[in-house]
């Protein structure tokens, strides 16, 4: 039975892509046999057939058949057989669609809007990769065996009449669907001419052979798992499902752009995973961070073409990384150009709002993923650390570290790795706290300096009423979630859920040490803001720097410590010139950010009366650090002197505390300087070292000191 008879009698649906491609290649054989017939009728050439004879070319295409066209009349009959073969393919395709299967090549043709001639061009180009015999056949038809790839000229001559050839040539121009979507490229990498060999994109070949994404048959391989998907707020989960259903109802060619906005680890990729799973498509992912400026345009174009071919969504990750930097302009332009041309769905993740213009904005919808609340964080931690650690521990960690679900998983993975390095199977609470601090500290920029908390509150020397205030602050921080969430106070407060504290006192009275001790007690990092890098003479720069600090502090869960904040948080003045106007704008902006910030901010000032009244009203706690009296100075001397330090029997700390009216900062300097003097001298800290260091310190800070201040110890000052 001939192949044509088989086409007429076998109309069963296609079961897979390979079965369909075999039919297309058999039809291609019928078309090429006509081209071989034409080649055999051309004028004799002494070199023709040197590599592939007429008989071999005919035999390669006959597939064992005894019949092949030998004359023009028979070639016409063979052309009818090719048309009958096409009719048979279309009949089987119809039955396949009714049975729920659509070959990938047909799906690609529909996605790109290809006509039958363009589909034939793809089959011609694919045949070179699918069966070695076609290399010889195309070489024979080109009269050059080194030209084994099909060329536009050969294809046009094979599947069109002389009247149609001009129109067919348009299918190979740069603006055509096949070239625009990089389905085909020139073998020599140059412009595509009539005699140029055609190369089919490897990605397209993989796709049409059924080795690529197969609708809903494969799960998306996005990084975040089911746990993150389960932590999505119910409203966001429902919005994701509704968006997917709307896309399926309207068709995938509506050109929707969905912006998934949320903090790092909030579940943006999990939401994208959910949407793509419901669509039954794996997305083509474009990672903005991984794009090189030079190659960005070609990679973006290739990715969007791949998505168009496969009818897949495009997932653009980290769009906010583009910012407004001049160096990213070419990437932004290439991306927006691709978005304009693409008609499929696009999912775009960003930490900040994204604003398009015109047509793109009209196609845009936004799903904003809120920060995970205390209950969600607590539930995740309970699932990770297990019931044996108790709900209280999970609640404490959730209250202290406002991490997103993804960052919770990262922190726990880090804690588990640290435990494994020490030979322990499961991480302890200390491992978890350390990992949470590390995860939190990654965000703050160079505008802040991390201070390692080494002090505890019981080391701070202050009068009882001031110490009571510090313990109240510590209690406030520990119980914030209980009061705001469990007791419902957050529903009554639209703003002001953060904690703003003012430490006021002269230099060296212990403000920085108290901030460090608070951070240590509650297990959070302390970041000291470098005001020299924040305040700028250029209009708008100070606000920009402060916005970065507060945004990054929100994500990092750190305590912000503004030391010597008078210059930054000073009083607003009457507007006398442009400088006053903008200075007042900066202060108003700071008031706004402090009110919106939900973290902990500690301001330190030497003179609280220099602070703007509006700032003072926003302080939940104001702690005055008095200059220490004699009893407290003695306590400071004893506290700051390490137990490990070698000391002599002649130390008279009580005398120094009584005679030298110094703040804790100066006392610390004296003890350190004396230690270095002793290290160079006898190796034991004696009274002479303390007296010499104290004399130098008092002169350094401008205090008038006389021999009477040191009494009988003055001789130690003047002795070498």
Give 151-169 pLDDT, tens digit per residue. 999 999 888 888 888 889 9
Q: Does 591 lie in the same domain as 505? A: yes
Looking at the fold, whether 84 and 198 belong to one and the same domain comes out as yes
Query: To the nearest whole percent, how much of the chain has pLDDT over 70?
Result: 82
- pLDDT tens profile 271-326: 998 898 888 888 999 988 888 777 888 889 888 988 888 888 999 998 888 865 55
Phi, psi of 284 (to 5 degrees): -90, 120
Q: 3-state DSSP helix/strand/coil percent for the chain, to nearest 5?
A: 55, 10, 35
CA 145 to chain centre: 51
Distance CA 149, CA 648 (A): 94
Q: Above 90 in pLDDT, residue 575?
A: no
Higher-pLDDT residue of 13, 68? 13
Q: Answer yes or no: do 60 and 75 share one domain.
A: yes
Q: Is residue 517 domain-resident?
A: yes
Q: Are residues 579 and 707 in the same domain?
A: no
The closest of 392, 438, 432 to 412, measured between CA atoms, is 432
User: CA–CA separation, 69 vs 399, rounded Å?
Assistant: 83
Bridge partners of 287? 317
Under 8 Å CB-to-CB from 555, ≥6 apart: which residues?
A: 263, 264, 440, 443
* Per-residue tokens: 329: 């302009």
pLDDT over 60 at 702, yes or no:
yes
286 sits in which H/E element: strand 284-287
Helix (H) or strand (E) holding 316: strand 314-317
Pair 596, 495: CB distance under 8 Å: yes
Contact between 63 and 98 under an 8 Å Cβ cutoff? The reply is no
Query: Which of 124, 174, 142 has its CA nearest to residue 51?
Result: 142
Q: Which of the listed residues 155, 189, 208 is the one where a domain comes to its end?
A: 208
> Which of 331-340, 579-588, 671-680 bottoms out in mean pLDDT, i.e. has the lowest?
579-588
Closest CA to 477 of 522, 434, 516: 522
Position 222 pLDDT exceeds 50: no
173/238 same-domain check: no
Per-residue pLDDT at 143 exceeds 90:
no
Determine how β-strand 600-605 pairs with β-strand 526-529. unpaired
Q: Is 349 exposed, middle or buried (0-12, 13-18, 19+ CB in 10 A)?
A: buried
Average pLDDT over residues 562-577: 60
Of the two residues 281 and 69, the one the predictor is more confident about is 281
pLDDT band at 635 (very low <50, low <70, confident <90, very high): very high
Is there a contact between 342 and 304 (Cβ–Cβ < 8 Å)?
A: yes
590 within 8 A of 611, measured Cβ to Cβ: no
Q: Is residue 649 part of a domain?
A: yes
Residue 582 pLDDT > 70: no
End-of-domain residue from the set 162, 192, 208? 208
pTM above 0.75, yes or no: no
CB 402 within 8 Å of CB 266:
no
Dump pLDDT digits (tens) for 357-386: 888 888 899 999 988 888 888 888 888 887
Which CATH number is 539's domain given? 3.40.50.300
Highest mean pLDDT among 560-569, 599-608, 659-668: 659-668
The pLDDT value given to residue 625: 93
DSSP, collapsed to helix, strand or coil, labels residue 368 as strand
679 pLDDT band, cuts 50/70/90, is very high
What confidence category does residue 215 fall into, taking pLDDT thresholds of 50, 70 and 90? very low
Which tokens go with 535?
A: 């305040």
Question: In this structure, what token pair is assigned to residue 243?
Answer: 């968006």
| Statement to judge: residues 35 and 181 lie in one domain | yes
At residue 392, does pLDDT exceed 80? no
* 402 in the same domain as 493: no
User: What is the tens place of the pLDDT at every residue in 513-559?
Assistant: 999 999 988 888 888 886 666 776 666 777 777 887 887 777 667 88
Q: At 41, phi and psi to the nearest 5?
A: -90, -5
Of 565, 665, 551, the closest CA to residue 605 belongs to 565
CATH value at residue 685 = 1.10.8.60
**For 239-257, what is the mean pLDDT?**
84
- Let me know whether 417 and 521 are in one domain: no
- The whole-number pLDDT of residue 313 equals 92
The answer to whether residue 410 scores a pLDDT higher than 90 is no
How far apart are the C-alpha atoms of 719 and 492, rounded to whole Å?
69
Domain edge (last residue) among 156, 183, 208: 208
Counting every residue written for the chain, the total comes to: 720
Task: Tell me the helices (H) and strands (E) count for the chain, helix number first.
Answer: 34, 13
Q: With residue 528 as reference, give the H or E element that holds it.
A: strand 526-529
Q: Are residues 287 and 343 in the same domain?
A: yes
Residue 583's pLDDT is what? Answer: 53
Q: Mean pLDDT for the chain? A: 81
Tell me, what's the pLDDT at 669? Answer: 93
Can you give the pLDDT at residue 64? 47
pLDDT at 651 over 80: yes
Among the residue ranges 76-80, 327-331, 597-601, 655-659, the one predicted with the least confidence is 76-80
What confidence score (pLDDT) does residue 705 get?
73
Q: E strands, 150-224, where?
A: 184-186, 198-200
**445 within a domain of the structure (yes/no):** no
Residue 563's pLDDT is 82
Q: Please indicate, yes or no, whether residues 124 and 254 belong to a single structural domain of this protein.
A: no
Secondary structure (DSSP) of 227-246: HHHHHS-HHHHHHHHHHHHH
Least confident segment among 42-56, 116-130, 287-301: 42-56
Let me know whether 306 and 416 are in one domain: no
Does residue 471 have a pLDDT over 90?
A: yes
pLDDT at 532 (0 to 100):
63
Separation CA 209–CA 21 (nearest Å): 8
**In this structure, is residue 452 part of a structural domain?**
no
- Which percentage of the chain shows pLDDT scores above 90? 18
- Note the pLDDT of residue 578: 45
Examine the pLDDT at 33 and tell me if it is beyond 60: yes
Q: Could you tell me the pLDDT band of residue 695, with boundaries at 50, 70 and 90?
A: confident
Same domain, 193 and 227: no
Structural domain harbouring 665: 630-718
């Amino acid at each position: 039975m001939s192949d044509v008879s088989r086409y007429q009698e076998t109309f069963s649906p296609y079961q897979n892509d390979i079965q369909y491609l075999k039919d297309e290649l058999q039809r291609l054989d019928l078309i090429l046999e006509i081209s071989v017939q034409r080649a055999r009728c051309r004028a004799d050439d002494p070199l023709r057939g040197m590599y592939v004879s007429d008989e071999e070319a005919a035999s390669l295409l006959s597939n064992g058949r005894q019949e092949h066209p030998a004359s023009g009349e028979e070639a016409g009959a063979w052309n009818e057989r090719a048309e009958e073969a096409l009719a048979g393919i279309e009949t089987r395709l119809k039955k396949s669609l009714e049975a729920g299967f659509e070959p990938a090549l047909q799906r690609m043709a529909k996605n790109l809007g290809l006509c039958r001639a363009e589909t034939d061009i793809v089959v011609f180009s694919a045949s070179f990769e699918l069966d070695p015999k076609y290399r010889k056949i195309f070489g024979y038809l080109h009269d050059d065996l080194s030209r084994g790839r099909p060329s536009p000229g050969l294809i046009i001559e094979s599947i069109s009449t002389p009247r149609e050839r001009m129109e067919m040539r348009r299918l190979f121009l740069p603006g055509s669907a096949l070239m625009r979507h990089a389905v085909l490229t020139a073998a020599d990498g140059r412009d595509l001419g009539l005699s140029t060999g055609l190369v089919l994109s490897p990605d397209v070949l993989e796709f049409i052979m059924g080795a690529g994404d197969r609708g809903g048959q494969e799960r998306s391989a996005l990084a975040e798992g089911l746990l993150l998907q389960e932590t999505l707020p119910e409203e966001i989960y429902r919005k994701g499902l509704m968006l997917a259903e709307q896309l399926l109802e309207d068709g995938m060619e509506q050109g929707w752009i969905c912006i998934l906005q949320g903090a790092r680890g909030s579940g943006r990729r999990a939401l994208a995973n959910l949407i793509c799973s419901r669509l039954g498509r794996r997305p083509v992912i474009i990672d903005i961070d991984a794009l090189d400026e030079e190659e960005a345009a070609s990679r973006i174009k290739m990715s969007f073409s791949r998505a168009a071919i496969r009818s897949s969504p495009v997932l653009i990750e980290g769009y906010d990384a583009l910012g407004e930097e001049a160096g990213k302009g070419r990437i932004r332009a290439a991306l927006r150009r691709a978005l304009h041309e693409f008609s499929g769905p696009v999912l775009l993740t960003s930490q900040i709002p994204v604003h398009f213009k015109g047509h793109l904005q009209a196609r845009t919808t936004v799903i904003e993923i809120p920060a995970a609340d205390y209950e969600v964080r607590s539930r995740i931690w309970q699932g990770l650390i297990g019931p044996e650690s108790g709900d209280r521990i999970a609640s404490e960690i959730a209250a202290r570290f406002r991490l997103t679900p993804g960052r919770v998983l990262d922190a726990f993975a880090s804690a588990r790795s640290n435990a494994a390095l020490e030979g322990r199977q499961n991480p302890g609470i200390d491992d978890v706290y350390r990992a949470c601090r590390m995860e939190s500290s990654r965000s703050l920029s160079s505008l802040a300096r991390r201070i390692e908390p080494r002090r505890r509150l019981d080391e701070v020397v202050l009068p009882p009423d001031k110490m009571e205030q510090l313990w109240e602050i510590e209690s406030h921080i520990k119980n914030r979630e209980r009061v705001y969430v469990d007791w419902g106070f957050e529903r009554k407060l639209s703003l002001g859920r953060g904690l703003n504290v003012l430490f006021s006192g002269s230099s060296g009275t212990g403000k920085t040490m108290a901030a460090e001790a608070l951070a240590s007690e509650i297990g959070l990092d302390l970041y000291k803001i470098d005001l020299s890098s924040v305040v700028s003479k250029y209009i708008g720069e100070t606000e920009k720097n402060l916005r970065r600090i507060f945004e990054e502090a929100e994500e990092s869960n750190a305590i912000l410590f503004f030391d010597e904040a008078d210059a930054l948080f000073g009083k607003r003045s009457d507007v006398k010139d442009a400088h006053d106007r903008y200075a007042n704008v900066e202060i108003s902006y700071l008031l706004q950010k402090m009110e919106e910030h939900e973290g902990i901010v500690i301001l330190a000032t030497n003179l609280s009366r220099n602070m703007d009244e509006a700032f003072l009203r926003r302080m939940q706690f104001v702690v005055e650090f008095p200059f220490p009296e004699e009893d407290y100075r003695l306590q400071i001397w004893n506290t700051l002197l390490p137990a490990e330090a070698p000391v002599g029997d002649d130390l008279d700390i009580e005398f120094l505390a009584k005679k030298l009216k110094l703040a804790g900062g100066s006392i610390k300097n004296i003890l350190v300087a004396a230690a270095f003097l002793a290290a160079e001298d006898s190796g034991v800290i004696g009274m002479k070292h303390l007296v010499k260091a104290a004399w130098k310190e008092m002169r350094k800070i401008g205090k008038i000191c006389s021999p009477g201040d040191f009494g009988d110890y003055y001789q130690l000052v003047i002795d070498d």
